[in-house]
Structure 1
């Protein structure tokens, strides 16, 4: 199937072509036709599957230009809000539909100013959304579309009550789409209470999982050998980007300095940096030829950067979900990628082997 076959406007098809999209991902092929019909839906879907376009394309097609605050997409983080807003804007340029992102860490007055352009689509994080609803800057009483992106992540971050309040500001008659990498009972309960009885469920996490496209390796070494090993991985192909994950902000900053001393073009990203600085860092990384981004798990979900060929777990980890979200930054949209975990003791290796068994993946030793 091709995007040309969807029942959407010619201008939207043109925007899709300009982005270089030809064939929809499995998620897009299943979700878009149902969403275009206005049905409520629940998608169990990991990142890296084209999920954003899956809900953005029907949204742009079904929204009427000039209907202010027609749609809301709730995201767990500022980074994901910016990414979703950018994706929607790139698809809606020719339609005249406006989209604005609101989130903490940036000027309230600046974002209030953006709302004065009367955008049809709002993307935002729960805290800032509730703030603006309380101030009267946002009014969703006549909105027709609500999308919860990475719902499990928002629940994990303690936003459950905030989300309930935001949903309460919407009319009962609306289209609701919920996407989540996992489906715990708390999410199922919300789905039962807030989505229509004829909602459609999609389990998109297995067949379209990016893990299958990632070659996964580990290296056993002493801690003082890690930087040499990382440099070797970076040098495998200087034309692809490398994303390096560390456990702490302190290690991120330290590693950036160590790589810079070796004349490796590396930049650091973590939660201590101001939002404007984080945005600038991500944009710089996106525009680099190759390059290295060193980060904490703040960017492990929802950040879409093209041409990340290598993901390196500089610090070992023991959570399966975190591992999946880290390596999911590579091998996106059908491309292949490589993930390497640096293990410095038997316990770290045993944890990695356990993760491999849980996700049914072969993680081979790299010598």
Structure 2
């Protein structure tokens, strides 16, 4: 965090006042370096890690130049995953609270098309979405980008890794040449350099040095036997030692993810698995439960965990080392955010010395394997989730807001506001986290009560 205040920027008074209300006083490094150029209308290539404050960086730029009286799509933000798009949309809405009648619309694959078509017919100022779904709406004549003034590519490296090159090129071909383009990427491989050369005009290059270091993230490396039983046993011990209340275990394959999650579940851990073979409903349920504290351990593949809306986790465990240093950096960057201390634990076999050598060279560090803790020295038990998740069969389409859910649960005084956790309202369903010991009481209150004058079916996930 820098000592430079947002008030030094030429932002609208309404935006500055809202930033104060949100507790945003001083700029992060990327905001300090990139926002002045963005507000001047320049194209930007910003290389920064997740958690650096980049969403507010481009969000303030979009909102500052937006003409809310001109009801056309003026800004488009493209993201690699639905989860990241939802996260970006939520942050933009927070930043835009002081702007009346602004409409921000999210267009993502995996979500029903019907409501999106209806929303597009009513128009929007800002579109946030994934490349495939956005292109589909364009090609079917539902989305017109001829009035676009700002294009943002968020986590551009991951969009290319996920195979969205053709979709990006097709979308850009439908935008005006005279536009501002802001490209954000955690890494800067040759593919990003080529993309930047095609899309941006005289861009300002901003590079934020590695945000995560030994001061904020303690990295531990453990050499394990070559068989899966030895590796899983080591993971169990290390989870008991370092787990905290929320941990992510990274695996390399979908099969491995399921196997590790099954092993940890049988060992008594509160665990969920996340990988590409899950259907969208199960994926949504998994992400919601982990993000709101209803599970303590998430076992995931790298691509599946992109855009995970969790501010920070206590520890990251690499069940297998990442294939490259950039992916390792992405993984461990999930912990130690916002000045908090984090832990990153990595397991490797004797035939993976070449990966250790690469990490040593890229991180300029000497890696010494530590001895595994003895089972006799660990008295801890697996952490239990403090919250449980209730799903309601009603959402935005039914005019349900978070306050309606809070009211339904607290009206009888059997539950207090402090007994509730995160509330997420989607188009046709909603989720609310409740202290685990009160979950059945909360379910009964929802089943016996009404929201917006109607009974809403509910269940505990």
Corresponding position of 1:335: 340
Taking structure 1 as reference, are residues 186 and 319 closer, same or farther at Cα in structure 2, changes over 3 Å only? closer
Q: Residue 211 of structure 1 contacts residue 327 of structure 1 at CA under 8 Å; is this kept in 2?
A: no
State the alpha-carbon separation in 2 of the partners of residues 65 and 361 from structure 1: 50
Taking structure 1 as reference, are residues 90 and 234 closer, same or farther at Cα in structure 2, changes over 3 Å only? farther
Picking from 247, 251, 256, the partner of 2:256 is: 251
Q: CA deviation at 1:46?
A: 2.7
Taking structure 1 as reference, are residues 364 and 240 closer, same or farther at Cα in structure 2, changes over 3 Å only? farther
Corresponding position of 1:209: 211
Taking structure 1 as reference, are residues 308 and 174 closer, same or farther at Cα in structure 2, changes over 3 Å only? same
Question: Map of 1:105-144 to 2, 5 A cutoff?
Answer: 105-144=110-149
Q: Residue 250 of structure 2 contacts residue 320 of structure 2 at CA under 8 Å; is this kept in 1?
A: yes
Q: CA deviation at 1:346?
A: 0.9
What CA deviation, in whole Å up to 9, does each residue of 1:65-95 have, x standing for no partner?
A: 2433110011222222222222212222332
Q: CA deviation at 1:141?
A: 0.2
Picking from 124, 133, 151, the partner of 1:146 is: 151
Secondary structure in 2 matching 1:308? coil
Corresponding position of 1:32: 35
Q: CA deviation at 1:305?
A: 1.1
What CA deviation, in whole Å up to 9, does each residue of 1:317-346 have, x standing for no partner?
A: 332222121112112233331111112x21
Q: CA deviation at 1:289?
A: 7.0
Q: Residue 42 of structure 1 contacts residue 178 of structure 1 at CA under 8 Å; is this kept in 2?
A: yes
Structure 1 runs of 4+ off > 6 angstroms? none
Q: Residue 108 of structure 2 contacts residue 134 of structure 2 at CA under 8 Å; is this kept in 1?
A: yes
What CA deviation, in whole Å up to 9, does each residue of 1:124-149 have, x standing for no partner?
A: 12111111001111101011110112
Q: CA deviation at 1:26?
A: 0.6
Secondary structure in 2 matching 1:22? coil
- In the alignment, does 2:293 pair up with 1:291? no
Q: Residue 49 of structure 1 contacts residue 208 of structure 1 at CA under 8 Å; is this kept in 2?
A: no
State the alpha-carbon separation in 1 of the partners of residues 366 and 55 from structure 2: 29
State the alpha-carbon separation in 2 of the partners of residues 191 and 316 from structure 1: 30
- In the alignment, does 2:277 pair up with 1:269? no
What CA deviation, in whole Å up to 9, does each residue of 1:26-45 have, x standing for no partner?
A: 11111112212221111122
Relative contact order, higher structure (CA 8 A, sep 6+)? 1
Q: CA deviation at 1:153?
A: 2.4
Corresponding position of 1:194: 199
Q: Residue 316 of structure 2 contacts residue 344 of structure 2 at CA under 8 Å; is this kept in 1?
A: yes
- In the alignment, does 2:31 pair up with 1:21? no
State the alpha-carbon separation in 2 of the partners of residues 184 and 208 from structure 1: 16
Picking from 91, 97, 104, the partner of 1:93 is: 97
Secondary structure in 2 matching 1:215? strand
Q: Residue 301 of structure 1 contacts residue 325 of structure 1 at CA under 8 Å; is this kept in 2?
A: no
Q: CA deviation at 1:211?
A: 4.3
Corresponding position of 2:108: 103
State the alpha-carbon separation in 1 of the partners of residues 62 and 310 from structure 2: 23
State the alpha-carbon separation in 2 of the partners of residues 16 and 235 from structure 1: 40
Would you tell me which structure has more helix in proportion to its own residues?
A: 1
Taking structure 1 as reference, are residues 140 and 257 closer, same or farther at Cα in structure 2, changes over 3 Å only? same
Q: Residue 187 of structure 2 contacts residue 326 of structure 2 at CA under 8 Å; is this kept in 1?
A: no
- In the alignment, does 2:327 pair up with 1:322? yes
Taking structure 1 as reference, are residues 306 and 290 closer, same or farther at Cα in structure 2, changes over 3 Å only? farther
Q: CA deviation at 1:276?
A: 3.3
State the alpha-carbon separation in 2 of the partners of residues 2 and 279 from structure 1: 37
- In the alignment, does 2:184 pair up with 1:179? yes
State the alpha-carbon separation in 1 of the partners of residues 309 and 337 from structure 2: 9
- In the alignment, does 2:8 pair up with 1:5? yes
Structure 2: gaps of 5 or more residues: 372-461
TM-score (norm 1): 0.90
State the alpha-carbon separation in 2 of the partners of residues 252 and 18 from structure 1: 42
The alignment of Structure 1 onto Structure 2 pairs a total of residues equal to 363
Q: Residue 220 of structure 1 contacts residue 342 of structure 1 at CA under 8 Å; is this kept in 2?
A: yes
Q: Residue 43 of structure 2 contacts residue 182 of structure 2 at CA under 8 Å; is this kept in 1?
A: yes
Structure 1: gaps of 5 or more residues: none
RMSD of aligned C-alpha atoms?
2.4
TM-score (norm 2): 0.72
Worse overlay, 169-178 or 349-358: 349-358
State the alpha-carbon separation in 2 of the partners of residues 238 and 319 from structure 1: 24
